[in-house]
Structure 1
Amino acid sequence: MKTKNWRVIPAVIAAGILSFSGVLIETSMNVTFPKLMSEFGTNANGVQWVTTGYLLAIAIIVPISAFLIRNFSTRQLFILSNFLFLIGIILDSFSPSLTLLLVGRILQGVGTGIALPLMFHIILTKSPIKSRGMMMGIGSMITSLAPAVGPTYGGVLLNTLGWRSIFWFLIILVLISLVIGLISIPAENIKRTEKFPAKTFIFLALGLSLVLLAIEKMSLLMAIIGIFSLVIFYTLNKKQQLLQLTLFKNKRFNFYMYGFLAYQAILLGLSFILPNYLQLNLHVSAAAAGAFMFPGALISAILAPVSGSLLDKIGQYRPILFGLIISTIALTIMFLYFPSLNFWTLMLTHMLLMVGIGFSYANFMTVTLATLPTNETTDGNGILNTAQQFVGATATAVVAQIITTAMHKNQATGMVIGSKQGIGVLTVLIILSLILFIGVNRRQK
């Protein structure tokens, strides 16, 4: 695991700790939403931008990751991502308003948007191919541990020291990441050979932002302008390439990527629905709502490297299919019996779902990138991470809109009805993923 002064596993861990911190802060903030709504005088649609704005920042930055990796050294990018994330944490640790809180969240999103693809780039370019599935599993495990810890971490600190303290303790983690990275990632001379495609980047950022705003505001005009901006991006991208969109001609890449993105929508959608439902409808504390998410997320994190090793040994089909079947069963049960499930039965259903996610989620990313030739892997990684964050932000915005609409119609039962409708949308996504996966692999055989 040493390549020209590289220490691969510590380097992955260093980038992983920063990615972990990003996901930790994302999931730990979800349990604070009822408190933030009260403190800042906003509703579910307004407060969801604490997560959506963060994910949007990642989605906007990740597309330029391929450009950054080609034109800057890994060490330079690693230091920059740490620096931006640290500034964002400091801002949020004393933010007196929702606006300043969102500014800090966006800076954290930019830092995480550089760190996430950087971690997988290190794995894909520095680890031996025979153990790549396991290494991808380790990378996914690092970031998957964050959802296990995040809600509990956020809930406990919210109840004891207040929501701003959630940011205080991350400073130590970021500094540890920086020290490990400086030791394990060597300085390399990278010549800049490309001009940054600024116009292409601006229209992509504008398009993604307006599409999300259109969902929150239910604005047809914003949706039209957003789609038009994405069409301009597509045209400009042919002249000044930011993302290698020809990858979408690869049908296997598209089908496997759908499965990966369906899981991302499920993870982010449920991380918004369940903590808020538990607090607002079942009237549990923020700490209890956080602890609710811990067992399932821990199961998923532990299974990620295990399923990666299975992929290395027996191939992709059986581990992913098993995970998809378990996930489909769990989400179907959750949807059909949602109003009658209490705290404990809902937790058991969530744990079953996370078993399925543990077997499929990281492996979907591995097999999606494995459909590409080596020279397209960096661009594929950029596209996959961009789509991952945008889909996560979209899923959060969609379920927030569903719940807000239901609560406006009926304040008493709106939370239950809206939560069930949101889970229904996510259930359809996993069923389609299962059907597509079986179909693609039958044709391949």
Structure 2
Amino acid sequence: MTTVKWKTKLAILATGFLSFIGILIETSMNVTFPTLMHEFHVDLATIQWVTTGYLLLVTIVMSTTSYLIKRFDTQKIFFTAALMCLLGTLLCAIAPNFPTLMLGRWLEAIATGLSTPTLFHIITSQIPAYKLGIYTGFATMVTSFAPALGPSYGGIINNYTSWRFIFWGVVPIIILVMLTGMFTIKLPARHDNSRFDFLGLIILASLMITLIVSIDQGGKNRFNSWQFGGGLILVLFLLIIFLQHLKNGHRQLLNFTILQTPLIGLRAVNFFILQFINIGISFVIPILAEETLQANSMTAGLVLLPGSILGAIISPFAGSIYDHYGSWPPLLISNVAILIGAILFASTVPQMTLGLILFFYCFMRGGFNFGYGNTMSDASKLVAPASQPDVNSLFNTLQQYAGSLGTGIMSAVVSAQQINLHKTTANVAASAAKGCQLDFVILIILAGVALGTTIIGERILRKANH
């Protein structure tokens, strides 16, 4: 059996921690929204771009990594990511206004967009197949500790000092990670001389941005407004252009043809929904806790901590189950647990307490971590080694856009309930509760679809084995 070198382990750790920092800051910022709204004099529909805009740019950057990983040495990609993370974090820490804060967040988005696919590229390229589930689970655990710590980290700092120390606090870690990665990452590129699909990137980015902006307009002007309807028409038009480009273009930004394999397509849908629910729920819960239950930002963050830690601990265990028993047990547990959690949230909003949020979130987070890493691991095993970077890049692009879309939709639904609202404490609490309950109903529907993909996928596997 092939052993894994310590340099490889440290390379995975360095890249994982760079992704960790991006997710840590992203989830830390969710609990600071009321503070940022007051300091920068903007509303919820605007401040949510701190997360939505970040995730959107992460998605766009990730869509280029299939090409970048083949064209450039992994060490160069990592160094670029680490440098962007450092510069963006420093800019956010000193931001005098909202546009400067967003500029810093965009630089951090470039970093995360490069580092996360690089992490999984190192694993799929340098880890033997019989240990793939465990190492993917470990990578998922590292990045899962970020959402475990993020809301608590952000809430405590925001409550006792200033939100700016969210950024100052990670600067030493970024420098340490940068040095570790530069000395341990030695994975060369294939130096593929294929040309980059700039037209595809422009069309795809336009499509993604237009959809998010349209949803944002629905939250600001209601979902029956011309702004929302007109935006959806433009989205449909761009989608048709993009599909034509996929059909006729000689260069492809992402290898969407791998989705023609039914099982990979089902895993991609499941993966997308898992991340949509994961990021969406982490946005909704602080809003529910702070605006409806009148908790402070520290409490709103701490209530997510037990479930997030549980999920992080589960990841390697779930990977081990996958290695020994295949995809069916962990993916079934994952999707059933998420469906139960979403139903519990939606059915108890009028009676909601912080204790119930903590308990229900354990179902959601535990379920997410049972399926998240294993879904992508399973898809990567269904293609030839040369196509694994394509799976890596496509799935990471899907999951980041799922997060951006999840935050955008969850925010828009809540914002739509507060249009023309006379903003007393009672009115804001009632409208937030109604919006959050509608969000949970959306999550129930998506969880049901995800469970369906798992059941259909298992039937396909059983037919193939007979």
The TM-score range, normalised by the shorter chain, is over 0.9
Matched residues in 1 for 2:112 and 2:163: separation?
21
Distance in 2 of aligned mates of 1:419 and 1:395: 13
Q: Report deviation, 1:2.
A: 6.8
Match of 1:267 in 2: 278
Quote the offset at 1:15 in angstroms. Answer: 0.4
Instruction: Read off the aligned partner of 2:458 and give its amino acid letter.
Output: N
Give 1:310 deviation, angstroms. 1.0
Residues 224, 239 of structure 1: alpha-carbon distance in 2 compared, 3 angstrom cutoff: farther
Task: Say yes or no: does 1:304 pair with 2:342.
Answer: no
Distance in 2 separating the partners of 1:191 and 1:384? 22
Deviation at 1:443, TM superposition (A): 3.5
Instruction: Name the residue aligned to 2:434.
Output: 417
Deviations 1:102-158 (A, max 9, x none): 111111001100000000000001001100000100111110000000001001111
Structure 2 equivalent of residue 435 of structure 1: 452
- Give the match for residue 343 of structure 1: 354
Contact residue 281 and residue 415 of structure 1 kept, 8 A: yes
Contact 1:6-1:185 within 8 A present in 2 as well: no
Counterpart of 1:374 in structure 2 is 385
Matches of 2:109 and 2:410 in 1, distance apart? Answer: 21
In the TM superposition, 1:199-348 aligns within 5 A as 199-218=199-218, 219-237=228-246, 238-348=249-359
- Cα gap change, 1:252 to 1:409, in 2 (>3 Å): farther
Residues 200-221 of structure 1: CA deviation (Å, up to 9, x unaligned): 2122112211111111013333
Asked if 2 retains the 8 angstrom alpha-carbon contact of 1:12 and 1:123, the reply is yes
Structure 1 position 6, deviation (Å)? 7.8
Letter in 2 for 1:437: T
Distance 1:290 1:222 in 2: 34
Q: Give the Å deviation of 1:189.
A: 7.0
**Residues 232-274 of structure 1 deviation map (CA, whole Å, 9 limit, x = unaligned):** 3443442222111211211111111111111111111111111
Unaligned runs of 5+ in 2: 219-227
Aligned residue for 1:153? 153
**8 Å contact kept, 1:34–1:276:** no
Mapping of residues 377-416 of structure 1, within 5 Å? 377-408=388-419, 412=427, 413-416=430-433
Contact 1:148 1:295 in 2 (8 A): yes
Q: Is the 8 A contact 2:263 2:460 kept in 1?
A: no
**Aligned-partner Cα distance in 2 for 1:198–1:319:** 39
**Which TM-score applies when normalising by structure 2?**
0.92
Number of the residue aligned with 2:224 = none
CA separation of 1:444 and 1:192: change in aligned 2, threshold 3 A: closer
Residues 201 and 233, structure 1, Cα contact 8 Å, conserved in 2: no
Q: Counterparts of 1:222 and 1:327 in 2: how far apart (Å)?
A: 31
Q: Would you say the 8 A contact 2:26–2:51 is kept in 1?
A: yes
Contact persistence 1:319–1:359 (CA under 8 A): yes
The structure-2 alpha-carbon separation of the partners of 1:68 and 1:343, relative to structure 1 and needing over 3 Å to count, comes to: same
**Residue 294 to residue 313, structure 1, CA distance change in 2 (3 Å):** same
SS at the partner of 1:371?
coil
Flag the 1:22–1:220 CA change in 2: closer, same or farther, 3 A: same
Question: 1:426 maps to which residue?
Answer: 443
The share of aligned pairs that are identical, in percent, is 30
| Of 194-203 and 12-21, the range deviating more from structure 2 | 194-203
What code does the residue aligned with 1:307 have? A
Single out whichever of 319-328 and 166-175 deviates more from structure 2. 319-328
Distance 1:43-1:316 versus aligned 2 partners, 3 A rule: same
Q: What's 2:40 paired with?
A: 40
TM-score if structure 1 supplies the norm length?
0.96
Give the distance between the partners of 2:389 and 2:82, measured in 1 at CA.
Answer: 21
CA contact (8 A) 1:151 1:291 kept: yes
Name the CA distance, whole Å, in 1 between partners of 2:277 and 2:188: 39
Kindly state the Cα deviation for residue 323 of structure 1 after the two structures are TM-superposed: 2.3
In 2, the alpha carbon distance for the partners of 1:355 and 1:427 equals 16
Amino acid in the other structure paired with 1:426: L
Q: Which moved more, 1:256-265 or 1:45-54?
A: 256-265
RMSD: 1.7
Q: Describe the SS at the equivalent of 1:239.
A: coil
Shift in Å, 1:187? 7.0
C-alpha distance in structure 1 between counterparts of 2:189 and 2:121, whole Å: 17
Contact 1:328–1:430 (Cα < 8 Å) also in 2? yes
The equivalent of 1:55 in structure 2 is 55
